[in-house]
Structure 1
Amino acid sequence: MSAVLRAGVIGLGMMGRHHARVLHALDGVELVAVADEVGDRLGAAQGAPVVGSVDELLRVGIDVAVVATPTATHEEVGLRLASAGVHTLIEKPVAVDAAAAARLVAAFDRAGLVGAVGHIERYNAALQALRQRLDAGELGDVFQIATRRQGPFPDRIADVGVVKDLATHDIDVTTWIARSPYASISAHATTKSGRLHEDLVAVSGRLEDGTVTSHLVNWLSPFKERVVVVTGARGAYVADTLTADLTFHENGTERTSWDQLAAFRGVAEGGSTRFAIPKREPLVLEHEAFRDAVLGRRQDVVTLADGMRTVAVADRVITSARTGTVSIVDHAAAGGGAG
């Protein structure tokens, strides 16, 4: 393999265009071609050759690829790239279901290739800082992780519902932050926009370490919100991934002399701190991690196995919402615990 990785992008939808933009400027990587059966209508290739199929892209000669096609095609495209010996980053969700994801995991493992999933939120500065502080024990025992991810319907999505498209972010982030997999899931979902798939879901869960979780996700809100709240023994962290801001609201130590209020309140209000943290574009960090994994420098990508476990939990969310029952997460079938 040459010192400069020859890269290709498959699919020039919204995310594919962003992948092409980042790869154009990424040190140690050359975007040599892009593939899309309808061409490059918006000029995302920026001069790189545009071909119509994966096989044409492989004939150009690539070391690494990004798959940014509709979810239903991820397995077929990923397996073709694995058979050709190409290290691959697949946009999330990694596949339509856990069984398809498992076949991708097996194929890349057999070939000895790096396979990664584009769970970009892991590279958000606020969540990176949050996990570091949790790992350092700054919050004490973690009681709850609650997320809100809502906004208007995105025109780019047609083949999956809000669970597979958006809630997979929250499932992955929650297990990654807590370093613990899900034990059980209960969900309610609905479709209000006239589309085939669910556009709103409310999920309650419990992780194996006892942490209680909740996720409110929809495509029905006129405003966009991306928030993760982690509550623990010493207060609560609030991460806003739209602005990459992290704020800590600490439990107060001052006792109140107002007897009626003291009897009503649980913890007291303390000070609040919004941290100053370096903020780089998460997609750039994701690509740097993938590049370095391919080159053997470090291994901190979101693996295909991570993506498979996330899809397995998403499958249980959909099952719970459909049946009205609590769904137990089978980690043996999903390939193990949290990354």
Structure 2
Amino acid sequence: MTLRTGLIGLGMMGRHHARVMRTVEGTELVAVADAMGDPHGVAGGLPLYRSIEELIGHGVDAVVCAVPTGMHEEVALTLVEAGVHLMVEKPIASSVAAGERMLEAVTARGLTGAVGHIERFNPALQELRRRVDEGQLGRILQVATRRQGPFPARIADVGVVKDLATHDIDLTAWLARSKFDRVSAQTARNAGREHEDMLVATGRLANGAITSHIVNWLSPAKERLCVVTGEKGMLVADTLNADLTFYENGSVETTWESLANFRGVTEGDVVRFAFPKQEPLLTEHEAFRDAILHGTSRHVSLQEGLDVLRVAEAMIFSADHGEAVAL
């Protein structure tokens, strides 16, 4: 079976979806839609529609929604009513309540719903998770992330927490296989916009691991870093370059007494791994396809997307009210 796919939202992210959707085996991109037209020339020879209803009318099995976050619920519910599988860009919705309605509708119809948390599909993080699952780190003690860079002018409807930090919330829980239990956060608004542009957050997962997250839109240098520390060492993923490095806890005895007392563990071997590196967006689309056709669960489900949004809103609440929030 070949899935007939459609795309709504032809902005900066939509054009990348269109490029990749043309290459996914077992699927055919048959039409695209955007109320504002096609500023990047995405359609090519495909039919270009102005609304989700027109796109559905063309005949599609699954649709990728790259519209602004505030439109996710409306578009998703229209697709569900028509019996169409869907993947929405992250975050799942503009509010937890909207995300709950989307999840309820998709579940009731037995459709596949996915959220485009693309960072989970970065090859460095895919390899990191594989090694964590194999026990290379032993018990996970801490997950720390840094996600910083200049402000993207295309983002207008949400702040840095729901736009950028949702990546780190998702990948942290996914890598550690544990949900957030508690968060505490500080935010700032320095660029004269309605929404926050800086975040510093800490958290604790249900499995006892602690987390820290530095996220902002005000750094002149772009940084995407995830550090997972365990009993046996530390894995560091640089997702900008899809690099993964392992810092092993050393097994060589330290005879310098004061140094040994201070460090607690000794420095062991350092290894930078080589592994296949497929484009994350393609991996994400393949996971969505396989969920529809074969019932696999490599995709980011609507439930997982909703869990991420709950944590994001808890961080915003914590920052606004000056108190830690239990999830």
TM-score in terms of structure 2 length: 0.98
For 1:223, the equivalent position in structure 2 comes to 221
1:116 corresponds to 2:136:
no
Which structure 2 residues correspond to residues 238-253 of structure 1 after superposition, within 5 A?
Answer: 238-253=236-251
Q: 3-state SS of the aligned residue for 1:149?
A: strand
Moved more, 249-258 or 103-112: 249-258
Which structure 2 residues correspond to residues 170-209 of structure 1 after superposition, within 5 A?
Answer: 170-209=168-207
Residue 147 of structure 1: CA displacement? 0.3
Aligned residues: 327
For 1:165, the equivalent position in structure 2 comes to 163
- Alpha-carbon distance in structure 2 between the residues aligned to 1:126 and 1:78: 31
Task: Decide whether the 8 Å contact of 2:32 with 2:47 is kept in 1.
Answer: yes
Any idea what the Cα deviations from partners look like across 1:178-229, whole Å, max 9, x if unmatched? Answer: 1111110000000111111000000000001100000000000001111110
1:303 alignment partner, one of 298, 301, 313: 301
For 2:63, the equivalent position in structure 1 comes to 65
For 1:81, the equivalent position in structure 2 comes to 79
Any idea what the Cα deviations from partners look like across 1:38-89, whole Å, max 9, x if unmatched? Answer: 1112111222111111111111111110000110110111111111110001
Q: 3-state SS of the aligned residue for 1:90?
A: strand
Task: Structure 1: state its 5+ residue gaps.
Answer: 330-339
- Alpha-carbon distance in structure 2 between the residues aligned to 1:327 and 1:88: 32
Residue 256 of structure 1: CA displacement? 2.6
1:236 corresponds to 2:234:
yes
Q: 3-state SS of the aligned residue for 1:72?
A: helix
Residue 297 of structure 1: CA displacement? 5.2
Residue 133 of structure 1: CA displacement? 1.1
Q: 3-state SS of the aligned residue for 1:144?
A: strand
Identity %: 57
1:314 corresponds to 2:307:
no
- Alpha-carbon distance in structure 1 between the residues aligned to 2:11 and 2:40: 10
Q: 3-state SS of the aligned residue for 2:294?
A: coil
Task: Decide whether the 8 Å contact of 2:11 with 2:39 is kept in 1.
Answer: no
- Alpha-carbon distance in structure 2 between the residues aligned to 1:200 and 1:111: 39
Moved more, 266-275 or 310-319: 266-275
1:324 corresponds to 2:322:
yes
Q: 3-state SS of the aligned residue for 1:25?
A: coil
- Alpha-carbon distance in structure 2 between the residues aligned to 1:265 and 1:296: 49
Residue 258 of structure 1: CA displacement? 2.5
TM-score in terms of structure 1 length: 0.94
Task: Decide whether the 8 Å contact of 2:8 with 2:64 is kept in 1.
Answer: yes
Task: Structure 2: state its 5+ residue gaps.
Answer: none
For 1:291, the equivalent position in structure 2 comes to 289
- Alpha-carbon distance in structure 2 between the residues aligned to 1:23 and 1:251: 43
Equivalent position amino acid for 1:185 in 2: V
Equivalent position amino acid for 1:226 in 2: R
